[in-house]
Structure 1
C-alpha cells in the first residue's frame, strides 16, 4: 500500500466493533495485508467494549497511526449510531469498503481488484464478490451463492431485491451515501437495506472469486438454524421499502417478495403450532422452494386455506378473499 501523508485515501474501510477480542486481530491483519497501488484508511468505531477489544485496537493504532484511525466511544451507543452517526462522517475515501470486526479478508488483492473494476466502469456504483461462510464453532467453510439468481458479472437493483445476496464484508461502493435519502434506523438491518438504496444509483459488479470470510454465529439472523427470524426480518425490510418513494417503480416486485417471505414465516408459525403434523411438514418444505411464483396471491391463499384446515379442522372459504 502507498502511504501518502495528508492526502485523501482512495478507500476508507468502514468498521465497527464491540466485544470482538477473539476476532479483531485477524480482521485488522487481513486489511493491513492488502496489496494496493493506492492509500487506504481504517475507520473503526470501538463501542466501549467490556473485553480486550479496545486494547487490541489501540495496539494497532500505535503501530499504524496513518492507517488505523479509531473512534472510541465513552459509553456504548449501539451498532447503528456507532456506524452511521459517528463513523460514516469520518470516511474520507473515494470508495468505501465494509468489514465487520468478526469477519476477515482472504484475498490480498481484494481492494485493488474492486477499485480497478469501478475505475473502469463509471456507471457502476458498487462491487461485491463471492464469499466463504464460516459457521462459528465448526471447522468447515461453505462457498456462498444464491442459487435463485443467475451467475453473471453485473446485477441491478431488482436482482438484489430478490435475494439481497451481497455479503457486506465483500462490498465496496462509491462514496455516495450522503446523496441517498436513506434512514438506516427505519430498517431492521442497515447493511442489507443499504445495498438496495445504493443500486438505485447504478449497477453492482460481481467478481466470482471468494475474497472474504463471513462468520455466522449460531443464533444470528443469518444462521442456517434461524431461518424463521430471517424471514421476519425480510418481511420488515420489504414492508418499509413499500413506503419509500424511490422504490415506487419496483412496488410490484416488492409486494411479491413480501408475500413470499410472509408465506414462509407463516409456514414456520404453523409448523411450530403442530410440529407432529407430517402434511404441514411437507407443505413447509414446499414453501421454501416457491420463490418463483409469477403471482403469489392465489397460490398463497390456497395454501393458507390448506394450512388452516390442517391446523384447526375448519374450512376457510370466501371470507379470505
Structure 2
C-alpha cells in the first residue's frame, strides 16, 4: 500500500479516536499491544448487541475473518449455517474493510440470520497501529485475532472467508472430542486442498490415523488446515506478552496450543482449503514480501524460544537456521549468485521437490 494511503488512514484514525473521546497523544504513548486493545474495544457490532444471537450462550463460536472475498464468502458462511449440533453455536464474522462487495454480502447474511450471526464491519483505520509519520509500527492481523476474541463460546472454530466446510457434523464431532478428552486444548482434521488455478485437488494431510501433533511437526511443517481448527477459547484470549503475533496468525496459534497442551489430529475430511488464491489469505497478499514473511517467522520462533525457556530449542533452532538459509538463498537468487545458491543444497533440494510436486499437479 502507498505511504500516502497510510497517512490518510492515520488522519482518519486520529479523527475517529477523537470522536470516541481519546486523546491521540495519550493513545500514541501506550505500547503497541495496548493500542491494539484500545482499537479492539472500539469495534461495534453490526445491528447492535440486542439481537436474538446475543441472548444465547454458545458452546462454540464459528469465527470467520474475511477481506476481499466476494466470490467465496457465501460458501464459507453457508458451510457454517448448515452445521447440525446438539448445542447452541454462534457465527462471528469480521470484515477488514473490504471494498469488493464482501461487506455487503456479510450484512445481508447478518440481517437474514440475526439468531445465528454477529457481524463486525471494521474499518482499516481502526485495525492498524501507526507511528506519527504514517508507518505501520508492527504488522499484526488485527481483524483475524479480534474476530476470534469476539467469540463468546467455550470453544473457537476458525474458517477464513475463502475456505469452507463440507461436513454438517464437523462442529459436533470436534466438540464431542474435546469435551470427552479435557487434556486436549485443540483438535484439527484433514481437508481437501483445492488448486484454484487448475481445479485440481489433493488431501491436505497424508496421515491415515488419528494422532497427536508433535512439536516438531508444529514448528517445521504445516499439517493444520486453518479451517479445521477448533480450540479452547482461552487460547485466543489469554495471550502471553512474550509471544510475537505475525501475519501467519494460524501458525502462531498452533505453536501456542502445542506448548500449552495436547493437540489432536482427527482423520476425517471435513473442509476445503483454497490454494494459490491471490488476494485472499495473508500469505497470498504478501507473496511479493517473501523475505519479510520469513523474517516474521524467525521473530516468532525466537520469542517462542525465549518464552518457553528453551524447552524446544533443538526443534526451534533448527527451523530458525533453515529460515535464515532460505533468506540467504532468496537474496542470492535475486543477485543471480548461482554459486551461493548451489552451496545451500538442502534448500535447493527442498525447492526441487516442490517444483516436481507442483508440475505433477498441473
TM range (shorter): 0.7 to 0.9
Confirm or deny that 1:163 pairs with 2:224.
Answer: no
Verify the 8 A CA contact 1:216 1:222 in the aligned structure 2: no
Confirm or deny that 1:246 pairs with 2:304.
Answer: no
Confirm or deny that 1:207 pairs with 2:270.
Answer: no
Structure 1's unaligned 5+ residue stretches are 291-321
Structure 2's unaligned 5+ residue stretches are 1-51, 128-139, 354-362
Q: Give 1:222 deviation, angstroms.
A: 5.5
Matches within 5 A, 1:1-321: 6-75=55-124, 77-78=126-127, 80-85=141-146, 87-145=147-205, 152-176=210-234, 177-181=236-240, 186-218=245-277, 229=290, 233-244=293-304, 245-248=306-309, 249-274=311-336, 280=342, 283=345, 284-288=347-351
Tell me the distance in 2 between the aligned counterparts of 1:160 and 1:62. Answer: 39
Q: Is 107-116 or 53-62 further displaced after alignment?
A: 53-62
Q: Give 1:190 deviation, angstroms.
A: 1.7
Tell me the distance in 2 between the aligned counterparts of 1:197 and 1:182. Answer: 12
Query: For residues 84-131 of structure 1, what are the alpha-carbon distances to aligned partners after superposition, in whole Å with 9 as ceiling and x for unaligned?
Result: 34x344211010001111110111111111111111110000010111
Q: Give 1:166 deviation, angstroms.
A: 1.4
Tell me the distance in 1 between the aligned counterparts of 2:100 and 2:243. Answer: 28
SS in structure 2 at match of 1:26: helix
Tell me the distance in 1 between the aligned counterparts of 2:101 and 2:289. Answer: 33
How many residues are treated as equivalent by the alignment?
Answer: 283
Q: Give 1:24 deviation, angstroms.
A: 0.7
Tell me the distance in 1 between the aligned counterparts of 2:276 and 2:115. Answer: 32
Verify the 8 A CA contact 2:53 2:116 in the aligned structure 1: no
Verify the 8 A CA contact 1:170 1:212 in the aligned structure 2: yes
Query: For residues 181-221 of structure 1, what are the alpha-carbon distances to aligned partners after superposition, in whole Å with 9 as ceiling and x for unaligned?
Result: 05776423222111111221111110112211111235577
Query: For residues 240-289 of structure 1, what are the alpha-carbon distances to aligned partners after superposition, in whole Å with 9 as ceiling and x for unaligned?
Result: 32234332211222111111222233334334433877x93993532558
TM-score (norm 2): 0.68
TM-score (norm 1): 0.76
Tell me the distance in 2 between the aligned counterparts of 1:81 and 1:228. Answer: 19
